Chain A
């Protein structure tokens, strides 16, 4: 189910009163979150639940073993019970798949049991390394099979045929489970943090499984760190009037960004990216501009809704976007865009690769590798890789030219015009990068980039400017006044007017054809 569908509102209308009633019973409330989250996720396809349960069970067990728990096979009781319950649910709702899923899960369980038994004699460090590997292989394995197998099989067959070796690409006809990249990254961070001694594992499977599947942020982030979110499941949440007020406003703001701005802009961007060769140059530029704001409002809208819902439940999630189109440089951009992913990549990829320690050439290599993999994380297509490569390249160029430092060192007379110019340049670079991200092929991307620079008016600009003006005004005010949300420090009457504006916009300015969230496919 999706946040703006009636079925979600029906779900939440049942869930929330129960949640409030159980506010003094932590175990029951966590149980409700787990059941609610599984219903939320299983609504797409009940079979998806097995993947998230496997990820939960494996990381729960691995986390304990990595931390030195020697309970051995006894550790498996609770996670196996959870797996059995999910398998039973699949048996009821998708009986045609139960045999295959059951056999594969059973084999996986046997492997885990064998590894546990075999590792009893190992020393602690060796066991920790082994089970960190098990966790990473399981999560990346799920991700690799479901998200990247088809892509790499097809690419392999193509390369093979190019060298005269005819191979039929193996196709598994797998459905891409929504949000798979988000929760696999989230659970991996848990075991890695334990291995690094940055956090202690939990012995409470209910809290851990509720953390992994927490429905507000399950399918499109923010990618939470266990050390931020998991402790919030171990103590009673406070639902204050302020939480409700701020949460509802955040949800409404995100809802507006998604259904009013992003979906209306999609009408323009879809047209030009579907068949760019038939579009006038002015239309191409309008389409790229539309997509630049569409992707932002689509994704940050979801994050706002997720954070708003979580706040209403008494949780605090990470801030995922901080007005990214006001960035001055690429490194500034990545501190403002999809912050939970960029910090994940920084902490678990860039720094382990060596970060900016050592030779400059190594730093550039690390940046390039991190951004390439960041691109690939978004989807199995070379255009995503090119998007990552483009960002890697501009990060390196800005670093070589030392632009971040030079901007900070400017004297006060030059500072404002230089910052405005830097913002405009960074915005244009971001726009160019989105062409690779959205285009169906490199041919389309290069065609758009060659032809879009003609300054001419098109009616599509009217749609784009009409949609983005309230957002630009709000974010400009936020930027100038240092607010995090548009309603911060506003008098009650002004907030009331803002709410009316958002509600009427959602009611009357919503696009006629609703679009699903773009980041669900990542």
Chain B
């Protein structure tokens, strides 16, 4: 009898603590939500990302979600093919149409901007105004590195028979390319594809996405946005560190062109990113596709820094680099800035507009008559 009472007492105590912890946990959540709304309202920029059958991340087809920052309140619509677009595309290219494939990350995807203000939409309308029939297929996925763009190109982009692809490059790619491990340099210093997948957090996210509560949280909760941002950055740092160590080890095991662990990590990052970009160019040429690279300048106190100078590209690839810096520099400082200042520093509508101008001018300048076969 006494033993039974004792057991019951213990069970009651455990149950009491479970209830206290559960209530405390829920209360802490509400407290955090209120704390952030008052003290530090968070940017709500959910990512609707899933896995693809070629082992990298992709946008969730037909997803519709909202991004809210102090400067933008934007609806993101993803088409059935996982591209940010208001239309669907057939695999087969319509006759007389030129297709441009955009390969990049959140900058090309147009985070913090309405669809009509993005590079993709502006390229289409401005080239159409110039008398060309153009389709822009936006293959960009937030968070993509050059490695992922390259796999996306091989696995998907080429199937849509683009005439032109524009690869986006930014300063963050040096580090970003250390993480996925989708390519590995051979003895000649040329990146060779591996069988690796790179799907960080995707399976957890896929499972969570089944829940209506989770979907509500990602769209509305400041606490969720804050924790996700914090956790995302932490995981990114860890994965970059691990990837960098792997690359340094690889570098010390091969002779050229990345030569040994004595070289600085930055040197390894630079050479590897350069090799990936050159490969991207060569692969596009092999499919008869015109390849260009858009540089995303680094904004510092309303000045714009180039990261291209750091790259070690061959002349042919360097010749295809398009930079909007000259146009950015001419942009009056009194006008709205070209990047979102209070958000995640993506292009503002003015930024997208100048980038589009730079791309159109650059493409015409570098390849004469590039769009002649798709004139209306």
Chain A residues packing against B (C-beta within 8 Å)? 496-497, 500-501, 504-505, 507-509
Contacts and interface: CB of A to CB of B under 8 A. Distances in A.
Contacts of B230: 507-508
B32 interface: yes
Contacts of A508: 35-36, 39-40, 42, 226, 230
A504 B39 CA distance: 10
A505 B39 contact: yes
13 contacts: A500-B28, A500-B31, A500-B35, A501-B31, A501-B35, A504-B32, A504-B35, A504-B39, A505-B39, A507-B226, A508-B36, A508-B226, A509-B39
A505 B40 CA distance: 9
Contacts of A505: 35, 39
Interface in B23-75: 24, 28, 31-32, 35-36, 39-40, 42
A509 B40 contact: yes
Interface in B280-335: none
Contacts of B35: 500-501, 504-505, 508
A505 B32 CA distance: 10
- Per DSSP, chain B at the interface is helix
Contacts of A496: 24
Top 5 nearest A-B pairs by Cβ distance? A504-B35, A500-B31, A508-B40, A504-B32, A508-B226
Nearest to A466: B39
A501 B27 CA distance: 12
Nearest to B36: A508
Main secondary structure of the interface of A (DSSP, over half): helix
A497 B36 CA distance: 14
Interface in B57-116: none
Interface of B: 24, 28, 31-32, 35-36, 39-40, 42, 226, 230
A427 B39 CA distance: 28
Contacts, number: 26
Nearest to A507: B230
Contacts of B28: 500
Contacts of A497: 31
B35 to A, nearest CB: 5
Nearest to A504: B35
A500 B39 contact: no
Contacts of A507: 226, 230
Contacts of A501: 31, 35
Nearest to B29: A500
A9 B32 CA distance: 24
Nearest to A505: B39
A496 B226 CA distance: 21
A508 B226 CA distance: 7
A73 B250 CA distance: 57
A507 B24 CA distance: 18
Given A500-B35, A509-B39, A509-B40, 8 more contacts: A500-B28, A500-B32, A501-B35, A504-B31, A504-B35, A504-B36, A505-B35, A508-B230
A175 B183 CA distance: 44
Contacts of A509: 39-40
A98 B39 CA distance: 53
Nearest to B39: A509
Which interface residue of B39, B42, B230 has the most chain A CB atoms within 10 A? Answer: B39
Nearest to B222: A508
Q: Which of B28, B31, B35, B36 has the most CB of A within 10 A?
A: B35
A496 B23 CA distance: 12
A475 B261 CA distance: 53
Nearest to A499: B28
A407 B124 CA distance: 79
B223 to A, nearest CB: 9
Nearest to A497: B31
Contacts of B31: 497, 500-501, 504
A495 to B, nearest CB: 12
Best-surrounded residue of A496, A497, A508 (most CB of chain B within 10 A): A508
Contacts of B42: 508
Nearest to B32: A504
A321 B313 CA distance: 59
Nearest to B40: A508
Contacts of B24: 496
B170 to A, nearest CB: 20
